[in-house]
Structure 1
């Protein structure tokens, strides 16, 4: 069952190469196949695949969606990813972000603007079209009267606007209120996770600690489960735990000569280990973005990872440049998006007038230019 909060839509303006980009998770068509890509009520996209060539903006899409965490949560991230923040061709000196959430069937809009990933200049929260609060350093707007209608009537609003997110201030300085949409909104945001495996290591944005994976797996008795998971995904190795002279323990590949797993493993095996590690926290996660998720996978392993994600009751976005995944047994045309060099993000369903049936080969249609709108 899906969680009570889902991201309905996301819009960003003037961020990196995006003049304006809009992603609508509620733009669901009436296809009768691959329904596990949708929420249980079939109203929202749950599992979304973004395809695009190199430099099309797939990674920057993830950075845009996860920008919200930098002022609402204490997260560690690669600040270099946000160093060149604003669109290079724009004269406007800030970027605009707009998130719309569906929480128990009610709509919550969170809107803000920033000069860089640390510096807020506007912030606004709207619930069911009613303004909860708004402040704007450009226009001098200050409006906090709406907070009392949502259980925050005793909150002191005399703070230095701009020095901290007011939404974060509200939640951190008020007792937890049951069934409160604002607290549930923050729960969703704090449960978001972006991650990627590269040849240089692991990158995370989110509250999941980038700890030593082998230490966590050993401590929680997950070595056998990891071995089984790897075996199911074409890594035919046996695992063993060995204690080092300093008393610490490490995972090894079991051969006549033991090989330290996280030193000798292939890039694909390390990528699978990262995914396995995240799966241990899936019940705490609300939304996951895996950038270039299949960069080190054989195509059949990439298929398996998509199957895992589709079974989970959380929203997910994965990016790829592997056209082999453009098949109706993995994705639906309304859940598969193309991001092209002009930074346009549209689903396959919105890029063609053709009726796409389950037997159609999306990869061939793409190669033949069917989705070049």
Structure 2
């Protein structure tokens, strides 16, 4: 489960920003919207967090920061030099920040144990990396190092006695631009592998309202219980589809070829490409199949969401979606949030972090006050993330009206434009 995510000096984010899933002491909707952790330090975590803000405020940059962290954890030992440098995107509107490291830190809970992991990096190397483990309230510092600019070497803190394995070998085999967590996990560190696997399997991030990726859904549709669940979801959303099938058609596979010093190439290969067909049927009529040219973008987007959504609910994963409401009716967005909040369906503690412009979700019957976050662009064009709880709204306050009136900030300031 995700406890909190912190980021410093990344794109429009200059100062440290923190998105937290730690529930406040508020008892509102406690049984449905919170997950009991069994930890006295963090007794309850929220099932969802919704982030609002005007266009270009930095909502997406928070998610890009998480994607960058995930990418580095999973691939840092095999990144090419240009690929590594492309991941370093600091705040560039002041000379100091433009040359300072970017820093990420994430806190997660696995099997009742809290892990606090982070690292800092720039275009040259990993500047620092650390891992604190809370088996009890007192942390165990399993590893930590800082890059020494004078010696060109890493200064390591003593390893914790609780951290076992070939620590010296893993340390010596970690290149300057690679993470120790990645190297040790890929070298079969039994203690670090669960953290690596959380990034690989339990964190699902869908960035931006781009072309819907139906490939995960195509794979899942081969499972009868999943196909039944998708059809129920679509019909519950008032999309009348009686059946779905995946057909293979002749088409082209696209592949990106990247070589250092050369422009990016797109290679095309002829072959069979999977595609989806939807069956519609009226009472007493024959079934009629349509390919996706005849289905709305919203229908396709919901189908694309269905695989990661079911995966998260069934297996207790974290689903992060940028602009979740794109092409979806507000009632459907509300319905999906309610699925995540239903403890009878989401039995393994699934969580969701979404950005949205749908203000109808600002309903005290749907979201607790500590689930609502805002991002605002400050005077120096830096992004600031803050919680609705900072404004101490009343329990029955009209949150949507207050937000649109500017009571909580994070709205665009529009000026008259004359042709």
- TM-score grouping bracket, smaller chain normalisation: 0.7 to 0.9
Q: Counterparts of 2:246 and 2:110 in 1: how far apart (Å)? A: 47
Which residue matches 2:277?
251
Residue 348 of structure 1 aligns with which residue? 388
**Which structure exhibits the higher relative contact order, with contacts defined as CA atoms closer than 8 Å and separated by 6 or more residues?**
1
How many Å apart are 1:229 and its aligned residue?
Answer: 1.6
Query: 1:44 is paired with a residue of what secondary structure?
Result: strand
Q: RMSD of the TM alignment (CA)? A: 3.1
The equivalent of 1:205 in structure 2 is none
Which residues of structure 1 form unaligned runs of 5+?
A: 1-5, 203-209
1:242 and 1:195 map into 2 onto residues whose CA distance is: 22
Residue 319 (structure 1) aligned with residue 349 (structure 2): no
Question: Contact 2:60/2:208 (CA < 8 Å) preserved in 1?
Answer: no
**Alpha-carbon separation, structure 1, partners of 2:329 and 2:183:** 46
Question: Any idea what SS the aligned residue of 2:175 has?
Answer: coil
Alpha-carbon offset, residue 286 of structure 1: 2.7
TM-score (norm 2): 0.73
The reply to whether residue 85 of structure 1 matches residue 89 of structure 2 is yes
The answer (yes or no) to whether the contact 2:322–2:356 under 8 Å persists in 1 is yes
- CA offsets per residue over residues 94-143 of structure 1, 9 Å max, x none? 21112233445544321211225x95332122224443222333444332
Matched residue SS, 1:289 = strand
Match of 1:292 in 2: 323
Give 1:155 shift: 5.4
Please name the residue that 2:60 is paired with.
59
> Corresponding residue for 1:206?
none
| C-alpha spacing 1:120/1:141, structure 2 compared with 1 (3 Å) | closer
Query: 1:52, CA displacement in angstroms?
Result: 1.4
Secondary structure of residue in 2 paired with 1:54: coil
SS at match of 1:135: strand
Work out the number of aligned pairs and report it. Answer: 348
Change (3 A) 1:261 1:303: farther
Counterpart of 1:7 in structure 2 is: 2
When normalised by structure 1's length, the TM-score is 0.81
Q: Is the 8 A contact 1:114 1:121 kept in 2?
A: yes
Paired residue secondary structure (2:46): coil
Deviation at 1:171, TM superposition (A): 1.9
Query: Which of the two has higher C-alpha Rg?
Result: 2
The change in CA–CA distance for 1:110 and 1:344 in structure 2 (over 3 A counts) is same
Structure 2, unaligned stretches of length 5 or more? Answer: 38-42, 77-82, 251-271, 411-419
**1:134-153 aligned within 5 A:** 134-139=144-149, 140-143=153-156, 145-146=158-159, 148-153=161-166
Residue equivalent to 1:165 = 179
